[in-house]
Amino acid sequence: MKKLSPAGPGYQKLVEIISKLRSPGGCPWDRARTKQEILNYFLEEVYEAVEALNSNNPEAAREELGDVLMEVVFLARFYEEEGLFTMAEVLEGINRKMIERHPHVFKTKEKTTAKAVLDTWQKNKQKEKNRDSILDGLPASAPALVYAFLLGQRAAACGFDWPSPMEALKKVKEEIIELEKSLQSRDQQQVAEEFGDVLFSLVNVCRLLGLNPEIVLRQANKKFDRRFRRLEKEIKKRKLKIQECSLQELDQLWEVVKKDKKG
């Protein structure tokens, strides 16, 4: 196993690099950036990190996690320049929180279970933040698919959940029947509501299977993208134009592509 070196010096060096880039006489491009611009880069890097982590490529994961970390330090730098807080205070705060939220590890050393740890975590968080609802504090800016996942996760933490993925799947089937009925009514508002219920139910099945729907859908998108590009190549091989192919021809070629593991 590779011997781990202390992360502290490297982290401090990164903080100093960002500080120098933003200081007078530093990098003109970095000095001209705004908090909102770096926030956008931060979100982009997070998605790239997710992509790398799912690629089973350690080198790519290492690089992308470094990029995410750099954006975190960059964002903290704005607050330091405004005299609001420093990166050291960010680290001090998260270190203190992790120790306080894990008393069974750092204090009492009492034996516990994963469920008990989660229950205590949620109770402490709700008390610290002075929240009225267990759903308070969810990121409103999160994509709808992620938000649905987080809603189900929070509700499940207090026992409001299906006993198994199969039970949750039954709910999906019920919602699909409701969607079919709404399609017959041709009421667009009702169709939209029922379709949303189907999606929300599917997200919970995904969660109960231990999967993140955002990641699963991204993988499905990549698979479709890969297969469709292969379909286009097959059509070009036959010296045809995709717009001139019938749906039956496209379906037949699609099945060929699906059977081809390269596609």
| Alpha helices for 24-102 (secondary structure H) | 28-32, 35-53, 58-81, 87-100
pLDDT value of residue 3: 64
Q: What's the rounded Cα separation, in Å, for the pair 58 and 17?
A: 25
Residue range 34-58: average pLDDT?
A: 91
pLDDT digits (tens, 9 = 90+) for 131-160: 788 888 888 888 899 999 999 998 998 889
Q: Is the pLDDT of residue 175 over 50?
A: yes
User: If you classify domain 144-211 with CATH, what class do you get?
Assistant: mainly alpha
> Exposure of 204 by Cβ count < 10 A (0-12 exposed, 13-18 middle, 19+ buried)?
buried
Q: What does the DSSP assignment read for 197-214?
A: HHHHHHHHHHHHTT--HH
Contact criterion met (CB below 8 Å) for 156 and 207: yes
Domain ranges of the chain: 8-87, 144-211, 215-259
pLDDT digits (tens, 9 = 90+) for 93-103: 999 989 888 88
Q: List Cα–Cα distances, 127 to 114, 158, 228, in angstroms.
A: 20, 15, 51
pLDDT value of residue 2: 59
Q: What's the rounded Cα separation, in Å, for the pair 157 and 151?
A: 10
1-15, 55-69, 159-173, 243-257 — which is least confidently predicted? 1-15
pLDDT value of residue 71: 97
Q: List Cα–Cα distances, 123 to 110, 117, 119, 209, in angstroms.
A: 18, 10, 6, 25
State what percent of residues in the chain have pLDDT above 90.
Answer: 67
pLDDT value of residue 263: 45
CATH pick for 8-87 out of 1.20.1180.10, 2.60.120.10, 1.10.3720.10, 1.10.287.1080: 1.10.287.1080
pLDDT value of residue 209: 96
Contact criterion met (CB below 8 Å) for 202 and 213: yes
Quick check: helix, strand or coil at residue 218? helix
State what percent of residues in the chain have pLDDT above 70.
Answer: 97
Residue range 27-49: average pLDDT?
A: 93
pLDDT value of residue 22: 97
Tokens 């799912």 belong to which residue? 54
Of residues 122, 102, 123, 99, the one with CA closest to residue 112: 102
Q: What's the rounded Cα separation, in Å, for the pair 32 and 121?
A: 40
Mean pLDDT of the chain: 90
pLDDT digits (tens, 9 = 90+) for 186-244: 899 999 999 999 999 999 999 999 999 988 998 899 999 999 999 999 999 999 899 99
Q: Quick check: do 8-87 and 144-211 share a fold? A: yes
What does the longest C-alpha to C-alpha distance in the chain come to?
Answer: 73
Residue 172, token pair as written in the block: 């999906």
